[in-house]
Amino acid sequence: MVTMMPNTDSSPISPIAAIHPALASALAEKGYSQLTPVQMAITNEEYRDVDLLVSAQIGSGKTVAYSIAIAPTLLESAERFDEAGAPLGLIIAPTRELAIQVRRELDWVFATTQIRIATCVGGMDIRANAVCLNVALILSSALPGTCATTSHGERWT
């Protein structure tokens, strides 16, 4: 696990200019003129391509921070996603409500990228969850137990 430290880069370039252009435009459209402390911390170059566990207050911007972190890996230099043969990412949420909330945030953050996101939560038909985890998605927001749904006769773990 990486302990996050603030981005102390003193360059005159805006931190928003340092994030993926597709996300920067979405943030600008939402009226962001600066990043929250957790979002600013995630722009630290040493956190690129590493697993992160982020702990911050409710409403601190963690979902946008995670989006900032994963966008370069998922999109690379592209502005939009091509069709994916399998999910490129999986976001695990502890509750149905949070999985749905994360999905709503990701929808606007990645709006210009033609991302396909599915939310897999309990209470859905098992076939719907299997489709959710196997169609050509970019991200799947799911509950831990739902990830263990039956998929092509095998358990997903």
User: What one-letter code names the amino acid at 58?
Assistant: I
Final residue before a domain boundary, out of 47, 79, 111: 79
> Do 36 and 90 belong to one domain?
no
141: which DSSP letter? E
Q: How far is CA 134 from the centre of its chain?
A: 18
Domain containing 48 equals 1-79
> Do 25 and 70 belong to one domain?
yes
Q: Which two tokens stand for residue 86?
A: 């399998």
Q: Is 93 left (phi over 0), alpha (psi -120 to 50) or beta?
A: beta
> Do 71 and 110 belong to one domain?
no
**Nearest-angstrom CA–CA distance, 132 and 68:** 24
> Do 19 and 45 belong to one domain?
yes
Specify the pTM: 0.73
Would you give per-residue pLDDT tens digits along the chain (157 residues)?
Answer: 444 444 445 554 566 777 899 899 999 898 888 889 998 888 887 877 777 778 888 899 999 998 888 888 888 888 888 877 777 777 777 888 888 888 899 999 999 998 888 777 777 676 766 666 654 445 556 666 655 543 444 444 4
